[in-house]
Amino acid sequence: MCFTIYELALNSDIQDRLREEIITGIEENDGQLTYELLSEFKYLDMVINESLRKFPPAFFLTRVCRKDFQIPGTNMIIPKNTDINVNIYSIHRDPEYYPEPEVFDPERFTPENIKLRPPATFIPFGLGPRKCIVSGRFGIMQSKMGIAKLIQNFEFTPCEKTTVPIDFAPSGIFLEPKNKMWLNVKKYE
Ligand code: HEM
């Protein structure tokens, strides 16, 4: 949620389009922000996915190699029982799949554009039998509700203490800004 709000503050056109979707949707739903309505917010979905791409909160996966494995196209062998870290952050910023990876562009997550990439190029919740137990459901719903409420009621802009680009904390198992995150917040009238 924090990284999403940060990008919305830096990209006012995306913030405006998202607010339009949320406010119109709530008005047409008798003023209620319901679970069903949240599922209908397609642009919110695209914005959150782009945020999870650029800033995967859990930025690496851990696995253990179960048998000697030759990396295709190389002579390199990963021996059995080696601990492996799969770097989600780097996969999500690979320009082969995400041109200009530093640019925050929710259009990468239209249904048509998603189909252009191999599935394992977007893995914020991991993959396989050990993938996150909440995946696209509870975790995403929680974030959608929080962002929808914030964008419905507040406007976010950068302030003099906003760091661009974000300086990440050098240690820890989750991706987080080094010096907290500073933004201007104003009530949306
Ligand atoms: C945006 C929010 C979240 C993200 C990005 C996220 C991401 C991840 C990732 C990358 C993994 C490792 C998956 C793998 O190794 O393939 C994981 C595992 C896990 N997550 Fe999440 N997670 C989120 C929210 C949550 C929440 C809210 C819960 C619990 C209520 C949760 C519970 C778990 C559990 C129990 C595992 C271990 C699954 C296993 O090893 O079998 N996660 N998560």
pLDDT tens-digit map of 32-84: 999 999 999 999 999 999 999 999 999 999 999 999 999 999 999 999 999 99
Share of the chain above pLDDT 90, in %: 90
171-182 average pLDDT score: 90
Judge whether 2 is annotated as a binding position.
Answer: no
Walk me through the domains of the chain, giving residue ranges and CATH numbers: 2-56+89-187 (1.10.630.10)
CB 134 within 8 A of CB 144: no
pLDDT at residue number 42: 97
CB 88 within 8 A of CB 63: no
| Pocket test residue of 125, 140, 144, 176 for ligand 1, highest count of atoms within 8 A of CB | 125
Nearest residue by C-alpha to atom 40 in ligand 1? 130
CB 56 within 8 A of CB 88: yes
The pLDDT mean for the chain works out to 95
Q: Among residues 40, 38, 47, which one has the least CA distance to residue 15?
A: 47
Which residues line ligand 1 at a C-beta cut-off of 6 Å?
57-58, 61, 124-128, 130-134, 138-139, 143
C-alpha–C-alpha distance, residues 6 and 143, integer Å:
14
pLDDT greater than 70 at residue 12: yes
C-alpha–C-alpha distance, residues 178 and 171, integer Å:
9
pLDDT greater than 80 at residue 136: no
C-alpha–C-alpha distance, residues 111 and 157, integer Å:
29
Nearest residue by C-alpha to atom 23 in ligand 1? 139
pLDDT at residue number 106: 98
139-151 average pLDDT score: 94
pLDDT at residue number 133: 86
Q: Which helix (H) or strand (E) holds 90?
A: helix 88-92
115-120 average pLDDT score: 94
144-159 average pLDDT score: 97
Ligand 1 center from residue 85 Cα (angstroms): 16
pLDDT at residue number 85: 94
pLDDT greater than 90 at residue 179: no
Stated pTM of the model: 0.94
